[in-house]
A and B are shown apart, each in its own frame.
Chain A
Amino acid sequence: MIGRFLRGRGIPLASLMLVRQPVRLAVALAGISFAGILMFMQLGFRDGLFDASVTVHRLFDADIVLISPRSTSSVSMAGFPRRRLVQAMALPEVEGITPVHWNLLLWRNPKTRGTRSILALGFEPGDPLFVDPTLAPKAQVLTQKGRVLFDEKSRPEFGPVAEWFRQGRTVESEISGQRVRVAGLIELGTSFGADGNLLTSSETFLDLLPNTPPGSIEVGLVRLQPGSDADAVVKRLNALLPEDVTVLTKQGFIDFEQNYWRTSTSIGFIFTLGAAMGFVVGCVIVYQVLYSDVSDHLPEYATLMAMGYQLRTLLGVVVREGLLLALFGYLPAYAAGQGLYLLVRNATALPVAMDFSRAMTVFTMILVMCMASAGLAMRRLVDADPAEIF
């Protein structure tokens, strides 16, 4: 097999043709890299924005999440009867549950007195809520009425809450006309739907929103025994519980939120279009380069055909040129993509990172770009008439 490969080995015509024309090679690689960087950026922004919509969702300590079928996204969560969550306890796999109140409330900036909508989560301070173990001790202060934990990663428009709190000042503000006091700081992060977050106890939450029907919650967290199959439990819960509740895995809950932003906003379309433009620009450049390369070498290709080389072999040279361009154009694009992601993360706090699937997507796009261009450039090769070169 290897022996056969070595015997079949010939002069690496494709790479020599590229290397011996450094200017043309540089133009091609620059064009491909540019297209790659453009695709990396556009897809990175898109995925980053979608990721940012589920900052809070990811933090929940849950294997299964119950929501109302009327909920459409984190900005419009509907209530469902809390006893559905209690019913879920009937399954032996279920280890624990946490009922969560979830709503957007108006927070008054303690400095400027302006109001702004903030995401408020209400839960029993003794219940596990987030995966992060540092929350539980902080949550103890919430047993006192009228206390909240403020997310210090909230946007500055909510006021210098964290700063004042650290200075030891008593930070008090107003939510829905009721006085609340900041009793601690937590770190969650902003998302599409919420510019800021705060945690409070169920009791305080219901005081702030007196119109909430009794026994109604927006999110029910279900934790399973270690080793349980979440998908199977979801199926059984769906069969067990009536239609007034939707049962999702935690991933399903995340997908539910992302899907909303994907389908109900034009973010996906805008950035996918941007990536598609990068693809088209790359195609044009690679095609130009390969086409003029084949045209310039047409007499040489014709000579090879006169010598007895098959057209197939020569087409293979063009394909290999395309492959090499794809590979060596991708590498700088990948490196530049990493650097630019770092830049974006530092500048915007958007969770943009190079992940394997995007790296593969962009590579595939570049490969398709180069192969399609090679395929079109090949048509020129068919014009190589060995009879014309005498």
Chain B
Amino acid sequence: MTVLSHPARQPGADLVSTVSIENLSHWYGRGSTRRQVLQSVDLEIAAGEVVLLTGPSGCGKTTLLTLIGALRQVQQGDVRVFGQQLKGAGRGQRQQLRRRIGMIFQGHNLLRCLTAEQNVQMGADLLAGFSYRGRRDQAREWLRAVGLEDHLSKLPQDLSGGQKQRVAIARALAARPQLLLADEPTAALDSGTGREVVELLKRLAREQSCSVLMVTHDPRILDVADRLVKMEDGRLLQAIE
């Protein structure tokens, strides 16, 4: 798998944590409807670490994920991803940063009009310095890595739930992220498929030495984590080893 070899890292990148959060608070709404969803959250994720985030629904897990993913403006507190401060970061800066973060969604969110291969290539296309053919070859490699080499030219509507989620994983990894954010990737899958998908995700992330932060409700997959973080009412509870 020469194409999928370890991506070049910036010098010194390993010296800082992938994610470093200090005293992060976040609110939704304005005036009387203003509601605090995150309260002084502190979290560190080291390079290559696989962290699982669990907790009841509505406790702020997804909000935390979108803040780390540079999809939302940070209101209060420090969020550093790859050493970059996200508080006060502009639209362009956040968009640049997102290129280095892979995202896997609860729904697969594949592009309906693209084949599996083309969907994965949308991820690979974010990489600079490869020819069209090179990027297509990478897309194929990734689909092979998730075991879908026979379904290259199928549209999402012709794939099963587990296959779609595997395409989504391939797409996220094809952009060579250094951090992977996953929001309940197994929610729409049966237990066996869910387990398979998560193990695949972990193995491939390991090979890329990519950190993973995964939000999940699913108790059957907790054991894949290096570390488990619990959340309740906008606060992080003590980590469970």
Contacts and interface: CB of A to CB of B under 8 A. Distances in A.
Given A306-B69, A390-B62, A390-B183, A10 B125 contact: yes
A387 B73 CA distance: 10
Interface string B100-138: 110101100101111000100111011001111000000
Contacts of A299: 109
Contacts of B71: 306, 386-387, 390
A13 B113 CA distance: 8
B111 A307 contact: no
Interface stretch (B5-13, B51-59, B91-99, B195-203): B91-99
A308 B113 contact: no
B132 A6 contact: yes
Interface residues of A, number: 27
B109 A387 contact: no
Nearest to B98: A308
How many residues of B sit at the interface, in one of the four size bands?
A: 35 or more
Contacts of B72: 387
Contact of A16 (B105, B106, B118, B132): B118
Interface in A7-44: 7, 9-11, 13, 16-17, 19-21
B118 to A, nearest CB: 5
B214 interface: no
A94 to B, nearest CB: 67
A20 B105 contact: no
Contact of A300 (B62, B97, B111, B175): B111
Contact of A307 (B65, B96, B126): B126
B66 interface: yes
Interface in A262-320: 297, 299-300, 303-311
Nearest to A9: B132
B114 A303 contact: no
B65 to A, nearest CB: 6
A24 to B, nearest CB: 11
A314 to B, nearest CB: 11
Interface centre among B62, B113, B172 (most CB of A within 10 A): B113
Given A11-B122, A389-B109, A307 B132 contact: no
Contacts of A6: 131-132
Contacts of A17: 113
Given A10-B132, A390-B62, A308 B111 contact: no
Contacts of B96: 308
Nearest to A308: B99
Contact of B122 (A20, A307, A310): A307
A249 to B, nearest CB: 56
Interface in A27-70: none
Contacts of B171: 307
B218 to A, nearest CB: 17
B109 A16 contact: no
15 contacts: A7-B129, A10-B122, A10-B132, A11-B122, A16-B113, A17-B113, A306-B71, A306-B98, A306-B103, A307-B103, A307-B123, A308-B96, A308-B100, A308-B175, A390-B183
Given A300-B111, A303-B105, A303-B111, 16 more contacts: A7-B131, A10-B122, A10-B132, A16-B114, A20-B112, A297-B112, A305-B95, A307-B98, A307-B99, A307-B122, A307-B171, A308-B97, A308-B98, A308-B101, A309-B126, A387-B71
